[in-house]
Amino acid sequence: MSDDTEMMKAGIEAVTSSAMTPVNDLISSLFGPAAREAGLMLQDHIKVYRKEGQFRLYIRTMEKLKALGVTPQRVPLKLLFPIIENASVEEDDDLQDRWASLLANAANPANADGIPASCKHLARIVTQAG
């Protein structure tokens, strides 16, 4: 795998891991000694759910880029991670399609002179909300 792919994988795993800390604390309080097993079961379920959401995002993004007939360019991590994070837990297909459109716009080489204003605005909103 490329270094970028490894970095993205490590980033996704770090975000998933840190998001689980409050859940693990609650499970410890509720389950006592059996908490570790219950926490591992819940963590596995959430990881699978998020991976499925990421997969849907990537497929939709690829479809949009293919329709445009372009090869994707690198997307800045400051924008890439919030899109992946939010799209991976999005249940609404229409909203996940919008996340894919944002990612496709950011990855479109036609936007090499700068990230489209809509993507910059989204990044600010997501960053401020987090």
Q: Which two tokens stand for residue 67?
A: 């329709």
Report the pLDDT value the prediction gives residue 103, as an integer from 0 to 100: 92
Q: Is the pLDDT of residue 130 over 50?
A: no
For residue 11, count CB atoms less than 10 angstroms from its CB and return exposed for 0-12, middle for 13-18, buried for 19 or more. middle
Q: Average pLDDT of 96-113? A: 88
Q: Is the pLDDT of residue 73 over 60?
A: yes
Q: Which of 70, 129, 128, 64 is nearest to 96 (CA)?
A: 64
Amino acid symbol at 59:
I
Calpha distance 74→68 (Å, rounded): 16
pLDDT in tens, 29-59: 777 777 667 666 667 777 888 888 899 999 9
Report the pLDDT value the prediction gives residue 111, as an integer from 0 to 100: 81
Q: Is the pLDDT of residue 126 over 60?
A: no
Calpha distance 105→88 (Å, rounded): 18
pTM tops 0.85, yes or no: no
